[in-house]
Structure 1
Amino acid sequence: MGYSFVMIGLITLLSAFIQGCTGFGFSIIAMTLMPLAMPLKYAAAVTAISSFFMVASFAFNLRRQINFKLMLYPLISSTITSLAGVAVMMSSPDGFMRRILGLILILLSIYFIFFNQKIRVRQTPVNGLIIGSVSGILSGLFNMGGPPMVIYFLSTTDDKMEYNATLQCYFALNGSLVLILHLLMGNFNVQIAQYCGVSLIGIVLGAFIGFKIFKRITFPVIRKVVYGLMVVFGFYLLIAG
């Protein structure tokens, strides 16, 4: 038990540090590494709960920079498709779905690394609904709805604070739905509560350090780090399954 607690603390510290630096990545890292310390079902619940509290605090601190208009359409569609994602997750093999996610991450990141300067995702209701739908499905399946929204917000904002604030607010609102679904499915108990308590300690420290670095780096650097991380995470999930 003590070994598991140490691992959870270190995993959430690393995950929160990456989220603080780039605006996303907590759930991807946590869901990749948490199953080493606990069953996958527990990992999904702990990640959903911990992630919600973290992004909610980020969104509150950055509330003046939130672009609610940009977030509206993705949030509407993701709310609907999150339900479908959870339903599929409950009936699909874990390894197969993780490999699918890894492939999606690789394709998306490579596409935007090479074509980001030539093709931009325009801020339109249709694009927002499409991106939000994909994000909602991935949130329901893996607690990993971040990459589509990262790409959309990076393409439709020019200010790093607006990008981060809007992204964290979206994560907080969408994450609250996923959290409620876990609670309704009974995926919460005393052991999960203990794991969450340990994870919050790692989150506080990791997020604090990561956000300090975020304030010092430029928006182009953030883009490169984000896309590079997506490639790394994608290959890991594709190979490890």
Structure 2
Amino acid sequence: MELLAFFSIVFVAAILQTSTGFGFSILATPFLLLLFEPVVAIQINLVLSLIISFCLYPAVKSGSNKNVLLRLWASAVIGLPVGIFILQIMHVDALKAMIAVLMIILTILLLNQISFAATKGREYVVGGVSGLLTSSIGMPGPPLLIYLSGTGASKAYTRATTLTFFLGVYLVTIVAQMMTIGTEFVVWEYSLYALPVVLLGLFIGKNLYPKLNAKVFQMIVYGLLLFTASYLLIEVLFL
């Protein structure tokens, strides 16, 4: 039963990641935390997310801005060790609660049509926070999604930027965690089990992507952010 639940989570999350360019970690991590210990759940998410990003990168590599990505990656590298430190000393529930509250506030602001200009300074901040969240709870997506939505980025640019950013940040995070806190065998075991499911999700997601119009895409972004934030709060308070 546990394996079936695992496959279901990975399958749906892989479809979402492939069709939108984000969403695997946002959707999968909260549910993987119900099946595995926090570090194991986070590292399975990192490995599978890296595989998906690697598979999709050739199709999106020309759609992002290299200078923006360099700023995001540069600051993410600074945030990564902070996230690993937080993962080691801070109770995961406290971290999830703080992130959930912040996500709800920012998403509500976006739903009320708040917008802001894209600046280098904001890109550095977003990259740093994303790096911190990647290595602490395996979820780099929310800060970048909120930033891209607030700046009015297109569906194609959002998909290309998130997938390319994730490819770099997931790879560095996995290596950093292996060198600092280690990786259990179960991470690689379950990641291998999930490969056929991930590939099926990739195939379905690729066919869904052309059918997503801008409005539906935006609603998926907001819905995912609110769903994940609400779930994290409910999990901390009641589960």
Normalised by the length of structure 2, the TM-score is 0.91
Bigger Cα displacement from structure 2, 163-172 vs 17-26: 17-26
Segments of 5+ residues of structure 1 without an aligned counterpart are none
| AA partner of residue 4 (structure 1) | E
Q: 1:113, CA displacement in angstroms?
A: 1.1
Offset, 1:123: 2.4
Q: How does 1:25-104 map to 2 (within 5 A)?
A: 25-104=23-102
Displacement of 1:33 in angstroms is 0.7
Alpha-carbon distance in structure 2 between the residues aligned to 1:238 and 1:195 = 27
Contact kept, 8 Å, 1:58 with 1:165, in 2: the verdict is: no
- Find the aligned partners of 1:130 and 1:185 in 2 and give their Cα distance: 24
Task: Say if 2:207 is the partner of 1:212.
Answer: yes
Matches within 5 A, 1:123-142: 123-142=118-137
How far does residue 218 in structure 1 lie from its aligned partner after superposition? 1.4
* 1:147-192 alpha-carbon deviations (Å, 9 max, x no partner): 1112223344644222211210001111111111221135323322
Q: Give the drift of 1:225.
A: 1.2
**Among candidates 105, 111, 123, match of residue 109 of structure 2:** 111
CA distance in 1, matches of 2:20, 2:188: 28
Shift of 1:132: 1.2
SS in 1 for 2:118: coil
Counterpart contact for 1:113–1:227, Cα < 8 Å: yes
Kept in 2: contact 1:123–1:156 (CA 8 A): yes
SS of residue paired to 1:71: helix
CA contact (8 A) 1:101 1:238 kept: no
State, as a whole percentage, how many aligned pairs show the same letter. 23
- Would you say the 8 A contact 1:86–1:140 is kept in 2? yes
Distance (Å, rounded) in 2 between the aligned partners of 1:175 and 1:55: 9
Cα offsets for 1:89-125 (capped at 9, x unmatched): 1111122212122112211211111124xx22x2221
Distance in 2 (alpha carbons) for counterparts of 1:202 and 1:90: 31
Residue identity opposite 2:176 in structure 1? L
Q: In structure 2, the residue corresponding to 1:60 is in which secondary structure?
A: helix
Say if 1:8 and 1:198, in contact at 8 Å, map to a contact too.
Answer: no
Is residue 13–residue 202 contact of structure 1 (8 Å, CA) maintained in 2? yes
Tell me, yes or no, if the aligned pair for 2:57 and 2:163 is still in contact at 8 Å. yes
Farther off after superposition, 201-210 or 91-100 = 201-210
Match in the other structure for 2:8: 10
Distance (whole Å) between structure 1 residues aligned to residue 196 and residue 182 of structure 2: 22
Deviates more, 1:15-24 or 1:222-231: 15-24
Q: Which runs of 5+ in 2 are unaligned?
A: none
**Is residue 187 from structure 1 mapped to residue 179 from structure 2 by the alignment?**
no
Of the candidates 191, 195, 198, which is equivalent to residue 193 of structure 2?
198
1:88 and 1:100 mapped to 2: Cα distance?
A: 13
